[in-house]
Amino acid sequence: MSLIRSIIKRLPLFAVDRSGASAVEFALILPMLDFAFMVTIDVGQLILANMKVYNAASSMADLVARDETISAATLTDLFGAATQVAKPLDLGANGKVIITSVSANTDNDPRIF
C-alpha cells in the first residue's frame, strides 16, 4: 500500500516536469517522418522511371521516322538502343517496345503495319 501512496504523491510532480517532453514528441513524430521520407524516395524513383520510358519511346520514334524502309537488322539495333536509353530499367524483361508504321499504297489508302 505504501508504494501506491508514494506514486500518488508524486503524480503532481510529473505534471509539472517537462524534461522528457521533447523526447516523447519526437518518438511520436518519428514514424510519420519515416513514412514521408520513404514516400519521397518512391515518388522520385517513379518519376525517374517515367522519364526513362519517355526518353526511350521518343528516341525510338525519332530513329524509326528517319528512314523510309527499315530492315530487321536495323530494328534489332534500334531495340538495343532503346534498352540502353532506358537503363537502369530492364526494358527487355519488364517492358515492351511496339513500332507501328502508317503508309499509303498506290491508291492512297492508309495501311498500318
- What residues contact 42, with CB distance under 8 A and at least 6 apart? none
What whole-number distance in Å separates Cα of residue 49 and Cα of residue 26?
Answer: 34
- What residues contact 27, with CB distance under 8 A and at least 6 apart? none
What whole-number distance in Å separates Cα of residue 83 and Cα of residue 52?
Answer: 10
Per-residue pLDDT of 23-76, as tens digits, reads: 888 999 999 999 999 999 999 999 998 998 898 888 888 888 887 777 888 888
Domain definitions of the chain by residue range = 20-112
Residue 110: the pLDDT is 63
CA 23 to chain centre: 34
- What residues contact 29, with CB distance under 8 A and at least 6 apart? none
